[in-house]
Amino acid sequence: MKKTLILLLLIGLAGCEQAPSSHGRPKSSSSVSVVTVKHSPLGDTRLLTGSLQAVTTVRIFNQEEGRIIRLPYYESDRVEKNAIIAQIDDSLIQAELNKASANLKQARVDARRIQSLSKKNLASEDELARSQTAVELARAEVSLLQTRLAHTRIRAPFAGVISERHYEVGDVVPLHSHILSLIDPAKLKIVIHLSELLLANIKPNTPVQVRIDALGDQHYPASISRIYPSINPRTRQGTIEVRPDSLPAGARPGQLCRITIRSQTTPRKNIPVAAIRHDSKGEYVFRVNADNVIEQTRVQTGIQLGNDIEVISGLKPGDRVVVKGFIGLKQGTKVTILPAANNRKNKQSTDKDA
């Protein structure tokens, strides 16, 4: 009996020595796609909205108060340059001008008489000087009233179209009232707002594409004509003007426009958005070291443009991060690098991975 038990124990021990240990197996290798951290501009094609505006817009104000006796043009009427577009009752100023003209005439007669007497030593130099001053004062008064009289007739500063009319004939308008607005419809612009991060690399004359919603889905060539020098401190956006190369039929101020513009930032560290992972502690990536072993690395990200995102901290240029093949990855995993994954031009491999 004892011999039988000893024999069974020896057989069991032999079996244990021959069985492989599961703890001694190497971890299976995962196949992943990686990209390297770049230090380059972030670029993207942006679709921005804006409105058509007239390049030249003038609001017409009166420089003389009084009753409007002539206002011949209405909204959408075309006017020629120097055409009278508004007239204020000038009867009072005309009467004052007549009086001033008479005073000037009398002052000139008095001055000639004093000058004649002065030559005969019958008038003093002081009287002669006062008579000449009286002439100058009367002449200045006439000139002032002539200017005021001219201000009662308001003329168009350029050929254009009336866009606003705020008064009617017979209305009494106080000084500096907004009577009309005049625009030049032949010259239109589009004002749009762009983030300060992208504005630094936008240059004048950069070509863009414009689509006017009211005129269909056709795109019209245009270019950036002006970049405003200041940034709005509230929105952190700058302002640029876009000029269409040619105006399509039916284009009018106020129409909604969509501008397609290629923009980019200044160079900065960036990786594809697909490389970013999230957990309760924040953002991280799976970095692959020189031995092709995974290192879970915490990162801080910045702006995102298109499929790329800025990396503020946690990585340096040249680091390799996983963008595809995340299943089963963890700290210390040995991985196999797919050969084609280093081509960052292949955006489909990063976009399809979850």
Which residues have C-beta within 8 Å of that of residue 307, sequence separation ≥ 6? Answer: 272, 273, 274, 347, 350, 351
Contact 201, 261 (CB under 8 A): no
Q: What's the average model confidence in pLDDT over 38-61?
A: 89
Name the pLDDT band for 347 (thresholds 50, 70, 90): very low
Is there a single domain that holds both residue 243 and residue 296? Answer: no
**Phi/psi of residue 309, nearest 5 degrees:** -140, 145
- What pLDDT digit, counting tens, does each position of 175-214 carry? 999 999 999 988 999 999 988 888 877 888 989 999 999 9
Is there a single domain that holds both residue 219 and residue 202? Answer: yes
Residues of the domain holding 323: 30-41+268-351
Residue 297 lies inside a defined structural domain of this protein: yes
Map tokens 């008095």 to a residue: 110
CA 239 → CA 196, 211, 222, 265, distances in Å?
A: 9, 19, 16, 16
Contact 239, 48 (CB under 8 A): no
3-class SS of residue 333: coil
Name the pLDDT band for 351 (thresholds 50, 70, 90): very low
Most confident by average pLDDT, 4-13, 60-69, 244-253: 60-69
Nearest to 333 by CA among 289, 298, 299: 289
Name the pLDDT band for 41 (thresholds 50, 70, 90): confident
Q: What's the average model confidence in pLDDT over 90-103?
A: 96
Residue 21 lies inside a defined structural domain of this protein: no
**Rounded-to-integer distance, Cα 272 and Cα 269, Å:** 11
Which structure tokens are listed for 258? 């969509």
Name the pLDDT band for 121 (thresholds 50, 70, 90): confident
Name the pLDDT band for 4 (thresholds 50, 70, 90): low
**Rounded-to-integer distance, Cα 215 and Cα 250, Å:** 7
Residue 290 lies inside a defined structural domain of this protein: yes
Name the pLDDT band for 123 (thresholds 50, 70, 90): confident
Is there a single domain that holds both residue 166 and residue 67? Answer: yes
- What pLDDT digit, counting tens, does each position of 307-326 carry? 889 999 999 999 999 999 89
Residue 323 lies inside a defined structural domain of this protein: yes
Is there a single domain that holds both residue 243 and residue 295? Answer: no
Is there a single domain that holds both residue 98 and residue 138? Answer: yes
pTM attached to this predicted model = 0.64
Among the candidates 212, 230, 264, a domain finishes at 264
Contact 306, 315 (CB under 8 A): no
3-class SS of residue 209: strand
**Rounded-to-integer distance, Cα 107 and Cα 269, Å:** 84
Is there a single domain that holds both residue 94 and residue 162? Answer: no
Mean predicted lDDT score pLDDT of the chain:
86
